[in-house]
């Protein structure tokens, strides 16, 4: 089961848009000059090696005969897309690769030459300012056209782009040195079209990569080292980032589920005992309304009333602990006293909906149990009401509630995204929300896996409780 969860999580992270390396190398704000581009590439390559992104994704891959099995080594997602689209169209990887290298050659050359060197080279006698700008202009144009060729796959557009590059180069004297590359480019493109082997696309090939795959690496790191990888936003190990938040969140969730059961069981029993009474009707209505009340609405209202200087400031407006007091020196209880106010509102919001849910279920199951023959027998034997209910009925009535535990738990974990955002409680939910907004996939994936893990624990606990309540089941 965990394997399936992890496989799903990995699939999500692999198919996710956005390139982690781009994010990690700060290229979002990069303003590099030309000599920077190649250097940047070096840094990126070493990062990719480190992250293992230069490996095939999975143990095996299913490709067509036309496709090249090392395509994943071309890093730019857009370029990769272009190349694989070209492959899907022409089916001749060799020629496509030739075309690709022709583009790269032209790009390299145009980047390596500055306007000054060009002018020197053609030894123009009147290299005045305007002419230099002109040179600059056409050089820029070439660079840009070549760059965009890497992202173009429609035939018409490629043709026009190649033509325009050739036009620029043949128009100007001083661009003579580009002629060879440009001819090579258009030649290789012609070749590519001429030698198209489209049929190769319809022959499936299964390739075995073995253990040298990203997934294997990823799984190995998690299982052996507990290493979920590094966060894309700041390059920090995910596990250290998430662990504290995990504790904070699970504290909230466990306390509130505990509270929910604590409150709902007596209420459920009481309303089952006094069927048709005034008490049952009012609690029934209130519980029903609480059950339908959306958590984010209730949370916002609580914040509006109890953490707003216009009304009452009983609780802090957000956060998980006071920041101007150093809590690390204190013992658990002192620390808890400081953190408690921050937890009250989230706990109330967590608790109310599940306790409404649980007590309704208890009421129903209690009613069912009370109508059973053996309860009637017990009553007929003259046992006291309390004794009948707590000794005989309760155990059986609790069974469906325990099953619920397995449902409530994931719901609480999922609900934490909304609630922690409202209360700005820096737990797992808020971290997950931030990660999603920043496309920080390792974080999302580990969140995913962790919550799957927590649910497994919930299943386990439910099983134990079952055994405890129902003596027929034993392990």
Contacts of 386 (CB under 8 A, 6+ apart): none
Site residues for another protein, 69-88, by CB under 8 A, read: 85, 88
Rg (CA), the chain: 33
Q: What is the 3-state secondary structure (H, E, C) of 390-440?
A: HHHHHHHHHHHHHHHHHHHHHHHHHHHHHHHHHHCCCCHHHHHHHHHHCCC
Site residues for another protein, 127-146, by CB under 8 A, read: 129-130, 133-134, 136-137, 139-141, 143-144
Number of residues that bind another protein (CB under 8 A): 135
Interface segment toward another protein; rule CB under 8 A; list 212-220, 391-399, 447-455, 460-468: 447-455
Least distance between another protein and beta carbon 71 (Å): 13
Interface segment toward another protein; rule CB under 8 A; list 100-108, 186-194, 213-221, 290-298: 290-298
Contacts of 113 (CB under 8 A, 6+ apart): 139, 177
Q: How many CB atoms lie within 10 A of CB 260?
A: 23
Site residues for another protein, 161-200, by CB under 8 A, read: none
CB nearer another protein, residue 191 or residue 300:
300
Least distance between another protein and beta carbon 115 (Å): 9
Six token digits for residue 252: 């909230």
Six token digits for residue 443: 């974080």
Is-contact 195 95, C-beta < 8 A?
yes
Least distance between another protein and beta carbon 195 (Å): 20
Q: Which among 251, 429, 258 is positioned nearest to 335, based on CA atoms?
A: 251
Strand partners, 208: 60
* 3-class secondary structure, 203: coil
Q: Which among 457, 442, 13, 432 is positioned nearest to 248, based on CA atoms?
A: 432
* Cα distance between residue 183 and residue 78, in whole Å: 25
Least distance between another protein and beta carbon 285 (Å): 9
Site residues for another protein, 347-376, by CB under 8 A, read: 347, 364, 367-368
Least distance between another protein and beta carbon 193 (Å): 18
Site residues for another protein, 89-128, by CB under 8 A, read: none
CB nearer another protein, residue 292 or residue 474:
292
Answer for which of 301, 464, 467, 473 binds another protein (CB under 8 A) is 301
Helices (H), 195-228: 214-220
Determine if 26 is a binding residue for another protein (CB under 8 A).
yes
Answer for which of 119, 399, 436, 465 binds another protein (CB under 8 A) is 436
Is-contact 153 86, C-beta < 8 A?
yes
CB nearer another protein, residue 327 or residue 467:
327
* Cα distance between residue 193 and residue 200, in whole Å: 14
* 3-class secondary structure, 227: coil
* Cα distance between residue 60 and residue 38, in whole Å: 32
Interface segment toward another protein; rule CB under 8 A; list 93-101, 187-195, 288-296, 466-474: 288-296
Binding mask 376-415 for another protein (x = CB under 8 A): ----------x-------------------xx--xx-xxx
Interface segment toward another protein; rule CB under 8 A; list 23-31, 100-108, 188-196, 209-217: 23-31
Interface segment toward another protein; rule CB under 8 A; list 188-196, 212-220, 450-458, 462-470: 450-458
Helices (H), 224-277: 238-273
Site residues for another protein, 233-272, by CB under 8 A, read: 233-236, 241, 259, 262-263, 266-267, 270
Q: Which among 413, 415, 400 is positioned nearest to 462, based on CA atoms?
A: 400
Least distance between another protein and beta carbon 244 (Å): 8
Answer for which of 292, 329, 331, 474 binds another protein (CB under 8 A) is 292
């Amino acid at each position: 089961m965990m394997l399936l969860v992890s496989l799903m999580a990995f699939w999500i992270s692999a198919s996710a848009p956005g390139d982690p390396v781009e994010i990690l190398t700060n290229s979002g704000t990069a303003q590099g000059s030309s000599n920077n581009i190649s250097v940047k590439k070096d840094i990126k390559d070493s990062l990719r090696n480190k992250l293992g992104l230069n490996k095939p994704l999975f143990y095996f891959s299913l490709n067509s005969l036309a496709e090249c099995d090392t395509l994943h080594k071309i890093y730019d997602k857009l370029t990769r897309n272009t190349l694989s689209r070209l492959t899907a169209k022409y089916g001749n990887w060799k020629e496509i690769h030739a075309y690709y290298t022709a583009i790269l050659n032209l790009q390299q050359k145009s980047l390596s030459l500055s306007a000054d060197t060009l002018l020197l080279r053609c030894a123009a006698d009147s290299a005045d300012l305007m002419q230099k700008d002109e040179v600059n202009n056409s050089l820029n144009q070439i660079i840009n056209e070549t760059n965009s060729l890497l992202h173009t796959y429609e035939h018409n557009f490629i043709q026009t782009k190649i033509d325009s590059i050739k036009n620029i180069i043949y128009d100007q004297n001083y661009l003579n040195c580009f002629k060879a590359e440009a001819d090579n480019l258009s030649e290789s493109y012609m070749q590519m079209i001429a030698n198209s082997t489209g049929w190769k696309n319809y022959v499936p090939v299964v390739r075995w990569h073995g253990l040298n795959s990203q997934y294997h690496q990823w799984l190995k790191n998690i299982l052996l080292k507990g290493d979920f990888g590094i966060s894309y936003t700041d390059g920090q190990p995910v596990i250290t980032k998430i662990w504290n938040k995990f504790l904070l969140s699970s504290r909230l969730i466990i306390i509130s589920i505990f509270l929910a059961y604590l409150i709902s069981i007596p209420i459920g029993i009481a309303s089952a005992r006094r069927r048709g009474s005034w008490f049952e009707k009012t609690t029934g209505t209130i519980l029903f309304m609480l059950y339908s009340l959306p958590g984010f609405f209730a949370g916002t209202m609580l914040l509006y009333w109890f953490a707003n200087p216009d009304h009452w400031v009983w609780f802090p407006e957000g956060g998980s602990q006071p920041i101007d007091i150093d809590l690390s020196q204190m013992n658990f209880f002192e620390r808890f006293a400081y953190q408690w106010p921050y937890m009250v509102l989230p706990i109330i919001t967590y608790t109310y909906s599940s306790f409404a849910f649980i007590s309704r279920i208890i009421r129903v199951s209690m009613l069912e149990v009370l109508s059973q023959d053996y309860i009637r027998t017990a009553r007929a034997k003259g046992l006291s009401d309390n004794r009948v209910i707590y000794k005989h009925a309760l155990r059986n009535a609790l069974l469906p509630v325990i099953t619920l535990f397995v449902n409530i738990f994931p719901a609480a974990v999922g609900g934490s995204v909304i609630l922690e955002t409202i209360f700005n409680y820096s737990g797992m939910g808020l971290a997950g929300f931030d990660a999603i907004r920043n496309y920080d996939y390792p974080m999302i994936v580990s969140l995913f896996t962790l919550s799957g893990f927590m649910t497994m624990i919930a299943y386990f606990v439910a099983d134990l409780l079952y055994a405890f309540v129902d003596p027929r089941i034993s392990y």
